A and B are shown apart, each in its own frame.
Chain A
């Protein structure tokens, strides 16, 4: 079993839709959870960062962590065409600056 599993999609939604992106993991030591956004032919950029369980909101984006289920989610409200990108989850046991384990990424297209 892979340490981090992420549905690669692709996922296509109309503009304004609520998008849900998810990852599951197997290593119970993971405590630091991140979401990165990667536009085509660019490097990933940090979007959201959470520690342990709970929710974190930043504008239209909400990150949720359920450590009991080993499941993390990223919600995008009122999705925009500019949100079209690949979203990668990442996690670590020792902190966001230490070696991260990445999911394979989910490709999202938001259609105008």
Chain B
């Protein structure tokens, strides 16, 4: 069965370290998205991609970067982790056409200490 997986599920890191969160999907979806979810803010878009070599900034992109070298993966990198980046991160993917909505991963809970 097709799926979207995120790793790790939980991570604790120190302020200033570079951290990469992985997202891998086997749906063959062109569109991929990264959101963070915080109490009181809901889901906020960090970065998104509509295909290989395409990346775009979302509403809260400062301090984050992504790259898309193939269809399956969209890793999210925190260049220098800050305590304000403690959050739950969700990756999602969708078809480029049609009324399919998003398929979400199970999330990565990141704590920056």
Which residues of A does B touch, CB under 8 Å?
A: 6, 8, 32, 34, 36, 41-46, 49, 51, 88, 90, 95-100, 102-105
Name which residue of chain A comes closest to B35, CB basis.
A102
Number of A-B residue pairs with CB-CB distance less than 8 Å in the complex they form = 63
Contacting residues, chain A, for B101 (C-beta < 8 A): 34, 36, 46, 49, 90, 96-97
Chain A residues touching B, majority SS: loop
User: How far does the Cβ of A14 sit from chain B's closest Cβ, in whole Å?
Assistant: 26
List 15 additional contacts besides A8-B40, A96-B98, A102-B35; criterion CB under 8 Å.
A34-B101, A42-B106, A43-B92, A44-B90, A45-B104, A46-B101, A46-B102, A49-B99, A51-B99, A95-B97, A95-B98, A95-B99, A99-B48, A102-B43, A104-B41
In the bound complex, CA of A6 to CA of B40 (Å): 11
Interface size, B (range): 20 to 34
In the bound complex, CA of A6 to CA of B48 (Å): 24
